[in-house]
Amino acid sequence: MTEEKAVKSEQTRALIVETALRLFRERGYEATTMRVIAKEAGVSVGNAYYYFASKEELIQAYFDELQEEHARACRDVLARERDFAPRLLGVLRARVDTMVPYHAFAGKFFKFAAEPTSPLNPFSADAGPSRAAAVAIYREVVDGSTLRIDGEFRRELPELLWIYSMGIVLYWVHDSSPGCAKTYLLVDRTVPLVDRMVSMSRLPGFKSVTRQLVGIIREVRD
Amino acid sequence: MTEEKAVKSEQTRALIVETALRLFRERGYEATTMRVIAKEAGVSVGNAYYYFASKEELIQAYFDELQEEHARACRDVLARERDFAPRLLGVLRARVDTMVPYHAFAGKFFKFAAEPTSPLNPFSADAGPSRAAAVAIYREVVDGSTLRIDGEFRRELPELLWIYSMGIVLYWVHDSSPGCAKTYLLVDRTVPLVDRMVSMSRLPGFKSVTRQLVGIIREVRD
DNA sequence: GTCTATAACACGATAGAC
DNA sequence: GTCTATCGTGTTATAGAC
């Protein structure tokens, strides 16, 4: 009984999300009203709001989907490559690959993700689990590689790489080049630079800068 | 005649902006409706829309105000200091100083600035003049200093510093520490690091990395 | 061109009945 | 869980006054 209800509930919920995401893709975020989502999904507006507290909350479902898709898209390269640079390159290219189909309306979503009070914001406390999942991929990039660097720095590097990836995303949102070619170019050009800088951190002259950096990160992190 | 009208027009416009910003501060952005702004300013809703195409557009006025205030707040330190690090430090601390009073509702504004299609977005083409004014301050930080670095790098450095300052702003928006103390800490800690890295760019071993960086910037910039 | 007054619209969101 | 009816909002439209 309760179980059947739970299943039905899950179905309705999924139906609403799928319909919403399809319509977002077809007509854009703003042109897709809650009334239309409800009508197309065959439910009432009130029912849609029973499952999702706001229109914005529907976007979370999209972000979760994207995150899973990225994790899947990274598996191959992370299983194959052992060197740091190609691992990072593969993960970042996969990130862009998964996002490209949504480029037209991603800007609208990005807006909500930028609001500090929104649970969609990747830096917010609410987004903790999502962020952890995202950072975990970069931890795997580091830990599964042959990279040899200072242990303290190694511990902070995944989060730094995640922030770097957020910078790539920021660039991507504004990239209007065909096929987002410029974003791929940015990735291809900056990964070797990042690789060089990370490798240099081991050199005697850089130990102090690296330690300084690690100290700052720990000091300003919440 | 025409002149008088122009003055009157400017006054009405200013009155609406001032009223709006005061109410935003007092009640927050969302709780301040266009109807209330109009009533408090003693104008009709239609008149408010005659001057500002949207509620969002009222925020542009705030950004412009902030930009001017920052430029003023930088004058002293830029006239006094000649070394690169203290110049940069002073400018960034001034940036935070001017923003702090608005911290409570800045997040709502930030959201609009994040949307790629919005003229409020600092990276957008529409924001070109505002961005140029902001970058100009960092150009003065560099040009007025005793810093000696490669000419090509020197030309790109102001824009890089502006992006760095955007990163500080991003951190600030999320900073809930009393008096935004953590943001000041971030500035105080990262400026010496940036200073060190910029200075190192001159060293023989770094010429190639620096050149690589300059090449990337020029390649991916629109 | 500047401004008022008021009504109307579409939207996100909510209330309350079933 | 689900519905219909309704609210408050940004925004637009209309019809004019100075």
Percent of chain B scored above 70 by pLDDT? 98
Q: Domain residue spans in chain B?
A: 1-53, 56-221
Number of Cβ pairs closer than 8 Å across A and B?
Answer: 74
Range in A3-7, B37-41, B145-149, B177-181 with the lowest mean pLDDT: A3-7
Report whether B105 contacts B24 (CB < 8 A): yes
Q: Is B168 exposed, middle or buried (0-12, 13-18, 19+ CB in 10 A)?
A: buried
Q: What class is the B1-53 domain?
A: mainly alpha
A47 closest-nt by C1' vs CA:
D2
Q: Do A193 and B186 touch (CB under 8 A)?
A: no
Is the pLDDT confidence value at A36 over 60?
yes
The CA-atom distances, in angstroms, between A214 and each of A207, A208, A210, B25, B182 are 11, 10, 6, 37, 16
Give phi and psi for B67, each to the nearest 5.
-60, -45
Q: Does the pLDDT at position B1 exceed 60?
A: no
pLDDT at B2: 58
The most confident of A105-109, A141-145, B8-12, by mean pLDDT: A141-145
**CATH classification number, A56-221, choose in 3.40.50.2300, 1.20.1640.10, 3.40.50.1370, 1.10.357.10:** 1.10.357.10
DSSP B91-154: HHHHHHHHHGGGHHHHHHHHHHHH-TTSTT-TTSSTTHHHHHHHHHHHHHHHHTS-----HHHH
pLDDT in tens, B88-101: 999 999 999 999 98
CA dihedral A71→A77→A82→A87, nearest 10 degrees, is -70
Distance CA A23, CA A18 (A): 9
Q: What is the pLDDT of residues A155-181, one digit of tens each?
A: 999 999 999 999 999 999 999 999 999
Distances in whole angstroms, Cα of residue B13 to Cα of each of A63, B10, B57:
41, 5, 12
Which bases of strand D sit closer than 7 A to a protein CB? 1-5, 8-15
pLDDT, position A2: 65
- Map residue A208 onto helix, strand or coil: helix
Q: Which two tokens stand for residue A56?
A: 């914005």
The dihedrals phi and psi of A28, each to the nearest 5 degrees, come to 95, 165
- In this prediction, residues B114-141 reach a mean pLDDT of 92
pLDDT grade, residue B106 (50/70/90)? confident
Residue A4 pLDDT > 80, yes or no?
Answer: no
Q: Is the pLDDT of residue A1 over 80?
A: no
Residues of chain B in contact with residue A123, where contact means CB-CB under 8 angstroms, are 174
pLDDT, one tens digit per residue, over A101-123 is: 889 888 888 888 888 888 899 99
pLDDT at B3 over 90: no
